[in-house]
Amino acid sequence: MQGKGIVKFFLVLLTIVTAVQFMYMIPTTRVEKKAAAYAETRAATAEEKSKYAVRKAAETAYLDSMSSEVILSIPLLKDYTYEELKGMQLALGLDLKGGMSTVLQVDLKELMIQLSNHSRDPLFHQALDNAEKELRNAQSDYVTLFGDEWAKIANGKKLAAIFSRNRGLVEENKLTFETSDSEVLRILRTQANQTVDLTFKRLKDRIDKFGVTQPNVSLDAGRDLIVVELPGVDNPQRARNFLQATAKLEFWNVYRVSDPGVLQAFIDADAKLKREASGDTTTTPEPTVRIDTTYADLLDSTGNVVGVDTQTLEVPIQADPLANRGPLLNLLSLNAGTAQGGTAFGLAVMGVVEKNKMQAVDNYLARDEIKNLFPRDMAFRWSAKPTVDRNSNKPTKLYRLFAIKKDRGKDTAPLEGDLVVSASSNPDPTTGEVEVTLVMNNTGAKIWADMTTKAAQDQNREIAIVLDDEVYSAPGVRGPITGGRSSIDGGFTVQEGKDLANILEVGKLPAKTQIIQESLVGPSLGAKNINKSMMSLLVGFALVLVFMIFYYGTSGIVSIIALFANLFFIFGGLASFGTVLTMPGIAGIILTIGMAVDANVIIYERIREELLAGKSMRLAIADGFQHSYSAIIDANVTTILVAIVLAYFGMGPIKGFAVVLIIGVVSSLFTAVLLGRLMIEAWTSKEGRTLSFWTAPTKRAFSKMHIDWLGKRRIAYIISSVIILISIGSFFTRGFELGVDFKGGYSYNIEFTESINPDDLRAALTDAFEAQPVVKAVNTENTYNVTTSYLINDVEDDAPDRVMDKLYAGVSSIVPNIDAEQFRMPDGQGTHVASSSKVGPTIADDIKRSSFEATFFALLLIFLYIFIRFNKWQYSMGAVAALFHDTLIVLGIFSLAQGVLPFSLEINQAFIAALLTVIGYSINDTVVVFDRIREFTGVYSGKTKTEVINLAINSTVSRTIITSLTTLFVVAILFVFGGSSIRGFAFALVVGIVVGTYSSIFVATPIMADLTKDIKPKDTKKSSSFSKAASVK
């Protein structure tokens, strides 16, 4: 074997990288165990009804408090916080961990209005409204739809007349009144792309502060969609508000720490909290003054002492906030005076605190009895970034606390971001620091001049510039600013300054977001899915292990070691790439186990042929590997092509499945081909050591097959044609059971504590929803799935809550005494909604379109690859015809069997993933046969086309059957143990593997043969190293 050193180098390197990935789990697991123990302690004293909520909140709070704490220190390299280590690990998807997933549509209508400088043109607004309506069902983007609608009603009026009022568009894009509509639409699409990207970045920054571990946020720029996964979230309304709330820019007057009573208010608050913590609930404040008595001599006119004059005075007690601290000041370091005079920070800073202590300080300051100690118009805001050490110029862990000053009777800032008309980012010419310059409109300029005049006259008081309730800067005002300009110097990098300027240019959040797809999974359901997945993985692996050792003897042990290494590298690779592991992803790993054996089987079968032909062990191994490479590469490249298409067109868990499949195939090639050969040659290179590639019962299995496969093709054509015609007939008569992600609607999985009649549930919900929903059992544990289109076109924020109210009303009518709050909780007690999802009509249409495109492009890529590799279109046509055959039959069985089999046969994203996997698997079998035909064409020049093809099929049928069996083992286990959420997916794979195995022999190869007049053999000498063990006598 050439290149052993390179293989060993990469083996060691991959092992180290993967081991490090697993090592990162040790300290985080330790922290999470402590968090769970702390949560259990807190929940132990809570009421039974609220135990879950208390436990959840306590665990989240503990992990949040540890987020910035160093939990792993590697000397001379780096210190890792919990948050950093967690971000470097393999994340679990919502179906395994529980939580909330949403797909957000970026609303570009408001952007268009802003870009038009708020044009009031009625045709413009009509086109916007029409485009918004079309977006619900169309497959195009909003800007394109707007252009189409404008063309219908404009009557020759140009779009340039609408958008030329925007100076920015005119200057940046040289927009004139003569600019064509197509060019204007191109400019608008560019602006829209920038806005979508900025919305994604701002939303991602916001989600990072949401308080969940390992959130997953991704942008689908081609469809203006943002996919958000929030593990562990069980309060969907809070998450919806958080994701859809508009960002805001505000300018606030501030208090200073030196203002009368401010510092004392913090001291009093701390003392009060300390007394409460000790059980002293009295409201008597700590003394702030002491009584001093002064004595003075009374003198007569001559200066003689005639008495003593005594006076009592109240002298303020100079309290030391650093002495005898209470709960508040143990966390918050007040910005008190320093030994050198002045304060440690600017006068607008009340104090500083570490990031993970900020929430605790907020909780203290939010108490009513504490708020009463501060001025009524005072509110607190934290700095957006930590302070910077003056010596090292590096960020610290400390964040500043500011006290803003509200106008009497108002909760809004005196000046807000909607009055900012432009923003730019440039370095300060004096300091070199990046600052964001703001320009306001006339109204904003007047307010700003008034604010800065008062601030300058009040001892150059600061004004806080706040974005998303975080203070980016609080500059002191040295004089009135009358030009409507301001700047923010928040310690930005060049890119941060540019991004912030772009965000403020649009105003608030660049664009609103609307939830068009949503799913919620309870943690208990996630735990069940993990258990079922691990059971499937272990049992499937065990079955493959037993079979490989039974069939191939000691060489089977080598393949098992390679499989272990394969799993090791797959999980390490997934963690390195930041992949989110879902149930379909685990299905991909299980499928990879079966498919990974394929390379071993191809190699071992070839070695068996060489051994049966009388070659020595070493020569048989060398030739077996050498002659197997072409088939292995072709088979795996086609699978990777299908997975790439799936990754490109799929969303969420399906994209994750595709990534797992790609990593699994690459890892399988390395472990089975390179690592496997390294182990085999290392073992057999020493004298006296040998390997067996068969056992007594399997030594000559499939070795004497002389079946005339092509002679039976007409029977196969008839059988396939009949099945396909029945399938097509069923498409039109029975149709399909479309999943919610294909037709849109709300879907709920409801767990009942007692048996119910599904007809009664359907009738009750029909009354509640004013239309009949789809009700079906999903397993034997009294769990039913309910799907309804009620209010699916309602875009109001509270629409999901109103649908949930109707669902509760319907269920409670047949199951009395259901707790409304527990019913809505994904891990509630009693009868409750264990998981839910919402798919709007826009995303449903998009999913259907992308599914068709994925299937089409997968077939096209396979056609082109086969054509390039075999240089004949007949091979490509035979392969693609077989894939169409497989697709139609799988679809037909799902159509025919819906409602007959005792599990769901929904056509959804998971089914499309299964279908494309079947396509990849089927082409594997076909390519191996084609590769052997190509090889035999150059070897058996004296044989006819039929003889060569039959010989090729006979020599590869052992590989086809064995690979199908091993893959069926793991897929069947997945079907049995995988649970209801994955059963339809597994069933599609089972059917597809059987049909794909059949079609590679009876469809692809015969069609290729019938389309080819004759196979022209090359006039080449037969290689002396090739064996004719499988030839026809």
CATH of domain 745-836: 3.30.70
Its pTM stands at 0.64
Cα 113 from Cα 111, distance rounded (Å): 5
Q: Is the pLDDT of residue 708 over 70?
A: yes
Whether 498 has a pLDDT exceeding 70, the answer reads no
**Same fold yes or no, 253-508 and 745-836:** no
User: Which residue has 């001379």 as its token pair?
Assistant: 76
SS3 letters across 949-973: HHHHHHHHHHHHHHHHHHHHHHHHH
Question: Residue 866: how many CA atoms within 13 Å on its side-chain side?
Answer: 32
Give the model's pLDDT for residue 216.
75
For 886-937, the pLDDT digits (tens) are: 999 999 999 998 878 877 788 877 787 778 778 777 887 888 888 888 888 8
**C-beta separation of 949 from 933 below 8 A:** yes
Task: Residue 64: name the closest of 204, 203, 209 by CA.
Answer: 209
At the topology level of CATH, where does 253-508 sit? Gyrase A; domain 2 (3.30.1360)
Tell me which residue of 207, 199, 247 sits closest to 228, measured CA to CA: 207
CB neighbour list of residue 464: distance below 8 Å, 6 or more residues apart: 251, 252, 253, 254, 348, 381, 402, 404, 471, 473, 474
**What are the residue boundaries of the structural domains of the chain, listed by start?**
4-101, 102-246+513-518, 253-508, 522-688+707-735+844-1011, 745-836
Q: Is the pLDDT of residue 311 over 70?
A: no
Helix, coil or strand: residue 721: helix
Judged by average pLDDT, the poorest of 154-163, 393-402, 1015-1024 is: 1015-1024
Query: How many other C-beta atoms are found inside a 10 Å radius of the C-beta of residue 409?
Result: 6
* pLDDT value, residue 882: 92
Position 917: which residue type?
T
What integer pLDDT is reported at residue 1024 of this predicted model? 39
User: If pLDDT is split at 50, 70 and 90, which confidence band does 301 have?
Assistant: very low
Whether 1027 has a pLDDT exceeding 50, the answer reads: no
More confident residue, 1028 or 17: 17
Cα radius of gyration (the chain): 36
The span from the CA of 996 to the CA of 985, in Å, is 16
**DSSP assignment of 563-615:** HHHHHHHHHHHHHHTTPEE-HHHHHHHHHHHHHHHHHHHHHHHHHHHHHHTT-
What is the full DSSP assignment across 330-398? HH-EE--B-TTSSBSS-TTEEEEEEGGGHHHHHHHHHSHHHHTTS-TTEEEEEESS--B-TTT--B-SE
> CA-CA distance, 848 to 740, in Å (whole number)?
11
Give the pLDDT of residue 506.
Answer: 45
Tens of pLDDT, residue by residue over 450-492, are 998 998 898 888 989 888 788 888 888 888 888 777 776 656 6
Confidence of residue 290 (pLDDT cuts 50, 70, 90): low
Contacts of 999 (CB under 8 A, 6+ apart): 720, 882, 883, 885, 886, 922, 926
d(CA 553, CA 717): 39
Q: Is the pLDDT of residue 235 over 70?
A: no
Q: What does the pLDDT average to over 381-405? A: 88
Query: How would DSSP label each residue in 758-819?
Result: HHHHHHHHHHHHTSPPEEEE-SSSSEEEEEE-TTTT--STTHHHHHHHHHHHHHHTTS-S--
CA dihedral for 641, 647, 650, 656, sign (positive or negative):
positive
Average pLDDT over residues 776-791: 76
Is 165 within 8 Å of 119 (Cβ atoms)? yes
Residues linked to residue 907 through DSSP beta bridges, in sequence order? 738
CATH of domain 522-688+707-735+844-1011: 1.20.1640.10
Quick one: CA torsion of 573, 576, 580, 586, rounded to 10 degrees? Answer: 20
pLDDT of residue 1025: 39
**Top-confidence range, 178-192, 589-603, 712-726, 748-762:** 712-726
Contact 912, 1018 (CB under 8 A): no
Please report the pLDDT score of residue 362 as a whole number: 92
**For residues 230 and 98, what is the distance between their CA atoms, to the nearest angstrom?**
9
Residue 1032 is predicted with a pLDDT of: 35
Instruction: Say which range, 199-213, 520-534, 822-836, 845-859, has the weakest mean pLDDT.
Output: 520-534
Compute the distance between CA of residue 737 and CA of residue 899 in angstroms, rounded to an integer: 9
pLDDT at 286 over 90: no
How far from 586 is each of 218, 432, 487, 656, 783, CA to CA, in Å?
A: 21, 51, 51, 10, 23
Mean pLDDT across 635-664: 79
Does position 726 have pLDDT exceeding 70, yes or no?
Answer: yes
